[in-house]
Amino acid sequence: MPLNFLGLSPEDSRLETSRVVILPVPYEKTTTYIKGTDKGPEAILKASQQVELYDEELAVEPFRVGIHTLDPLCTDQPEPEEMVEQVRREVVRLIRQGKYVVGLGGEHSISIGIARGFAEAFGPGSFTTVQIDAHTDLREEYEGSKYNHACIMKRILEVSPGVHVGIRSMCLEEAELVKQRNLPVISAREVHSNPNWIENALDHVKTDRVFLTIDADGFDPSVLPGVGTPEPGGLLWYPAISFFRKLFATKEVIGFDLTELCPLEGQILSDFTCAKLVYKLIGYQWLRMKDEG
């Protein structure tokens, strides 16, 4: 079985005929706690081969849209600035080919390159970045780098407004920035306590287009324990996918990524959950593609 997403046959995964492309970026250079996010993309691809192709919620087989898995990018672990530039160029190239880009990290800093690629292709400020994360990632720099995984949303806000969902950890610098700029933060506490949190979050999305960036630690460790910087009290599975389905139904999600999976030896729960989530989101996008012809 080929090591591509879902283990699809060549007929269902040719680049020329696939509308969705999986872009693995097994990059890890700036992580600061548990190491291993560079193993995330391969773990997701391996686990995806056990995901059922039929989606029982949607009553469709989303793989029929065509899903091609690209060769991994930045395997030589360049400096963060160069990695971001390589990812940006690749995203622009794929969009110009008419492909729908799904990024797999790797550390969350890969999302800077993806956002910059979308900004070049669609225009700066033309989309909102919806961030699922335990942390705001709004530091100006961390450990001497502006491209550290703790700074990704500060860099992305240079090309896109943002909405931050699932947040339950930030430093004083970030808290002051949130207050100063009145940034829309939907805390994990609100997710758990406010039945209208989905509508509240979507009300903050002022553009039709959305880039969805997901840090695996946005989920609760009971759902997804294999992350580099775990925090208690995160999103649970069904509330999260309810939010994603509403987001994809009401907005044009121009692409998404899933980052910061840190596979745990001897435990495949996190790997499989990430693979299932990626396929679920492709399914939500498939419904839009189907409606658009």
* pLDDT (0 to 100) of residue 2: 62
Strands (E) located in the chain: 20-25, 67-69, 100-105, 127-132, 162-167, 185-187, 209-215, 252-259
User: Above 80 in pLDDT, residue 289?
Assistant: no
State yes or no: pLDDT of 1 exceeds 70: no
> What confidence score (pLDDT) does residue 29 get?
87
Tokens 């960036």 identify what position? 213
What average pLDDT does range 197-211 have in this prediction? 99
The pLDDT tens digits of the residues spanning 136-162 come to 999 999 988 999 999 999 999 999 999
Q: Return the SS3 of 247.
A: helix
Residue 274 pLDDT > 60, yes or no?
Answer: yes
So what's the pLDDT on residue 288? Answer: 82
Q: Quote the CA–CA distance of 241 and 15 in Å, as a whole number.
A: 28
Rounded to an integer, the average pLDDT of 176-193 is 98
Assign 18 a pLDDT band (cuts: 50, 70, 90). very high
pLDDT at 144: 87
* N residues, the chain: 293
What pLDDT digit, counting tens, does each position of 222-241 carry?
999 999 999 999 999 999 99
- pLDDT at residue 287 in the model: 87
For the chain, percent of residues with pLDDT exceeding 90: 93
| Domains of the chain from N-terminus onward | 5-292 (3.40.800.10)
Let me know: does 134 contact 219? Beta carbons within 8 Å.
no
205: tokens are: 């999305």
pLDDT at 179: 98
pLDDT at residue 251, rounded to an integer:
98
Q: What is the pTM of this model?
A: 0.97
Q: Judge whether residue 278 has pLDDT over 90.
A: yes
Which two structure tokens, joined as six digits, stand for 140?
A: 């100006």
Does position 248 have pLDDT exceeding 60, yes or no? yes
Cβ atoms of 247 and 204 closer than 8 Å: no
Task: Report, as an integer, the average pLDDT of 86-99.
Answer: 98
pLDDT bin (cut points 50, 70, 90) of residue 293 is: low
What per-residue confidence (pLDDT) applies to 83? 97
List Cβ neighbours of 85 (8 Å cut-off, separation of 6 or more). 113
